[in-house]
Amino acid sequence: MSFSHLRSRAPVSGCFAALATLALIACGDGPTPPSATCGDVTIPPSLTRGTSQVSITGSQARAFHGGAGGYTANNSLATFGVLDAFATDAEGRPTSELFVIFPGEPEANKRYQLAPVSAAQFNDPNFTPSQPFAVYGEAYDATARDYTRWFTNATGCLRFVDVISTAGEQRTAVAQVELNGSWEQGASGSGALTALLSAPFVSLYGAGAQRDTLFATMDTLPARAGAPVDSIATTRLAVFQTLKSGDTKLVVGASARVAGTAADTTELWLVLPGVPHEGQVITLGAPTLAEAKAGRASVPFGMVRFDNPGSPPVVQRIFRSTGGTVNIRELVLVGPAALCGWMRGDFDFDVTGTDVASGADLGARHVTGTFKSTVTVLQPADSVHDGATMARVTAVPQPPATAQQCMF
């Protein structure tokens, strides 16, 4: 499954157009869906924010207590929401996923009837459903680049039990999902799925959306009067959570034009192994110069790079971390079917500089700043490009051309 309907940067088409259809239905511009039947439910104390509980009965019984996240967005025509519950492995990587699409924003005690959708329809970029729907996938295959077992053709309901404002920039949507459906592609039979989610929720596009921003300063060490201070203020960010086995990491990249020039660029990178969680403080290490050039190291690290004009531009100076921290203040994590997460954090680390051409030592500096950004959750087959070749088009890290990116 390409999930191209959610990942394309192209104009509205396929299932993304379907999302707009759902939103228009919610606004009263389409047929009224039948009333949903989700009843009252008791939320257990174990359902903490960012978690889910999913149970499937019938021919393929299973259950998990996993993660949860969600977002609302729009295509300038209408608003839709995505809700995501996922199981994880020992590395924190999603291994199965309940994916729900609904119109509008989450509202406490709002109910939706969910319509049946097959795996073939979910794959079809021209499919336009008439109602909200949910599908569940599991057993990702790296060769097929897809989940290989699907619980689909499911009718049921979605109910938002509560929507809670939090101290940060997120909301928390507490929801229940009830489905009756059948298995496809690698599994057979029928069953029933029930799920409870306490999902951090964020607006990615439209009114109240969280815009990508990064602010940073880089001071000379030791601090002294008249010493140079570089600053970065940019909305040019790309943040990727890679799930590839043996190469699981979160990469934050930002780039900014140098004031008064046409081509000079400053880049800031944070490369954090694993799958982070909200509230985590990540200690940065000291990569080698070769590792900093490649954008890959055995330790978490940060760096700032200054690029010369040219075609393509060439990295002139690299300042790589020698120690420090990155704080994950808020995080909306989803699985690769939902694709678009969000995070907010700050960083504080020391760096040592090197002139790439001469190898000259450029001394120690101190970097501090804040950022917030959408997060593209890449499929487990994808990772970011190796940046070892220094003569390259300067930009924030990018995944392979075959990967899809969050359109928001």
Please tell me the distance from the alpha carbon of residue 115 to that of residue 132, in angstroms, as a whole number: 6
Please tell me the distance from the alpha carbon of residue 129 to that of residue 113, in angstroms, as a whole number: 13
> Cα Rg for the chain, rounded, in angstroms?
22
* pLDDT tens-digit readout, 92-104: 889 999 999 999 8
Q: What's the confidence (pLDDT) of residue 9?
A: 31
Q: Tell me: pLDDT of 3 over 80.
A: no
- Prior bond of 312 cis (ω within 30°): yes
Q: What's the confidence (pLDDT) of residue 407?
A: 83
Q: What is the pTM of this model?
A: 0.87
Please tell me the distance from the alpha carbon of residue 171 to that of residue 202, in angstroms, as a whole number: 6
* pLDDT tens-digit readout, 254-284: 998 766 555 578 999 999 999 999 999 999 9
Query: How would you classify the pairing of strands 361-377 and 237-242?
Result: parallel
Q: Tell me: pLDDT of 144 over 90.
A: no
Give one word for 185, left, alpha or beta, with left for phi > 0 and alpha for psi -120 to 50: left
Hey, what are 210's tokens?
Answer: 């969280």
Averaged pLDDT, 179-204: 94
Q: Which of 165-174, 225-234, 254-263 has the lowest mean pLDDT?
A: 254-263
Q: Which of 28-37, 295-304, 305-314 has the lowest mean pLDDT?
A: 28-37
CB 199, CB 173: distance < 8 Å: yes
Give one word for 143, left, alpha or beta, with left for phi > 0 and alpha for psi -120 to 50: alpha
* pLDDT tens-digit readout, 371-408: 999 999 999 999 988 765 544 555 678 888 888 888 88
Higher-scoring residue by pLDDT: 11, 359: 359
Query: How would you classify the pairing of strands 133-141 and 94-103?
Result: antiparallel
* pLDDT tens-digit readout, 338-382: 999 999 999 999 999 999 989 999 999 999 999 999 999 999 999
Averaged pLDDT, 52-69: 96
Q: What's the confidence (pLDDT) of residue 314?
A: 79
SS3 per residue for the chain = CCCHHHHCCCCCCHHHHHHHHHHHHHCCCCCCCCCCCCCCCCCCCCCCCCEEEEEEEECCCEEEEEEEEEEEEECCCCEEEEEEEEEECCCCCEEEEEEEEEECCCCCCCEEEECCCCHHHHHCCCCCCCCCEEEEEEEEECCCCEEEEEEEEEEEEEEEEEEEECCCCCEEEEEEEEEEEEEECCCCCEEEEEEEEEEEEEECCCCCCCCCEEEEEEEECCCCCCCCEEEEEECCEEEEEECCCCCCEEEEEEEEECCCCCCCEEEEEEEEECCCCCCCEEEECCCCHHHHHHCCCCCCEEEEEEEECCCCCEEEEEEEEEEEEEEEEEEECCCCCCCEEEEEEEEEEEEEEEECCCCCEEEEEEEEEEEEEEEEECCCCCCCCCCCCCECCCCCCCCCCCCCCCCC
Backbone φ, ψ for residue 272 (5° rounding): -125, 105
Q: What's the confidence (pLDDT) of residue 31?
A: 44
How far, CA to CA in Å, does 289 sit from each of 268, 297, 349, 351?
15, 10, 17, 12
- Rounded to a whole number of angstroms, the distance between the first and last alpha carbons of the chain is 20
CA atoms 254, 259, 264, 266: torsion sign: negative
Q: Which of 23-37, 225-239, 270-284, 390-404 has the lowest mean pLDDT?
A: 23-37
CA angle 214, 219, 220 (to 5 degrees): 155
Q: What's the confidence (pLDDT) of residue 142?
A: 84
Averaged pLDDT, 173-183: 97
Q: What's the confidence (pLDDT) of residue 12?
A: 29
Q: Tell me: pLDDT of 166 over 80.
A: no
Q: Tell me: pLDDT of 146 over 90.
A: no
Please tell me the distance from the alpha carbon of residue 176 to that of residue 129, in angstroms, as a whole number: 21
Q: Tell me: pLDDT of 228 over 60.
A: yes
